[in-house]
Amino acid sequence: MNLSLFADEDQAPAAPAPLVPGSSASLLLRAFALPYLDELLPALHAIVLAAPLRHMATPGGLRMSVAMSNCGAQGWITDGRGYRYARLDPASGRPWPPMPPVFLRLAQQAALAAGYPGFTPDACLVNRYAPGARMALHQDRDECDFTAPIVSVSLGLPATFLFGGAERADKAARIPLLHGDVVVWGGPDRLRFHGVAPLKEGEHALLGAQRINLTFRKAG
Render pLDDT for 19-58 as a digit per residue (tens, 0 to 9).
989 899 999 999 999 999 999 999 999 999 999 999 999 9
* Binding-site positions for 2-oxoglutarate: 127-129, 211-217
Establish if 9 belongs to a structural domain.
no
| Helix pair 101-113, 37-50: axis angle to 10 deg | 130
pLDDT over threshold 50, residue 1: no
pLDDT above 70 covers a percentage of the chain that reads 95
**C-alpha dihedral over 98, 122, 40, 70, to 10 degrees?**
70
Separation CA 119–CA 160 (nearest Å): 26
* Binding-site positions: 76, 83-85, 127-129, 138, 140, 142, 168, 194, 211-217
What integer pLDDT is reported at residue 10 of this predicted model?
A: 57
Convert the pLDDT of each residue in 148-187 to its tens digit: 999 999 999 999 999 999 999 999 999 999 999 999 999 9
Establish if 114 belongs to a structural domain.
yes
pLDDT over threshold 80, residue 7: no
* Binding-site positions for Fe cation: 138, 140, 194
Q: How many structural domains compose the chain?
A: 1
Which residue, among 161, 164, 155, 142, has the nearest Cα to 218 in the 3D structure?
142
pLDDT over threshold 80, residue 2: no
Establish if 3 belongs to a structural domain.
no
* Binding-site positions for substrate: 76, 83-85, 142, 168
Separation CA 92–CA 50 (nearest Å): 10
pLDDT over threshold 60, residue 99: yes
pLDDT above 90 covers a percentage of the chain that reads 92
Establish if 14 belongs to a structural domain.
no
What integer pLDDT is reported at residue 4 of this predicted model?
A: 33
Q: Which domain holds residue 161?
A: 23-217
In terms of Cβ atoms closer than 10 Å to its own Cβ (0-12, 13-18, 19+), residue 191 is: middle
**pTM listed for this prediction:** 0.94
What integer pLDDT is reported at residue 39 of this predicted model?
A: 98
Establish if 6 belongs to a structural domain.
no
What's the CATH number where 152 sits? Answer: 2.60.120.590
**Neighbour count for residue 132 (Cβ, 10 Å):** 10
Establish if 121 belongs to a structural domain.
yes
Establish if 12 belongs to a structural domain.
no
Establish if 125 belongs to a structural domain.
yes
pLDDT over threshold 70, residue 97: yes
Q: Which three-class secondary structure state does DSSP give residue 177?
A: strand
Average pLDDT, the chain: 94
What integer pLDDT is reported at residue 15 of this predicted model?
A: 86
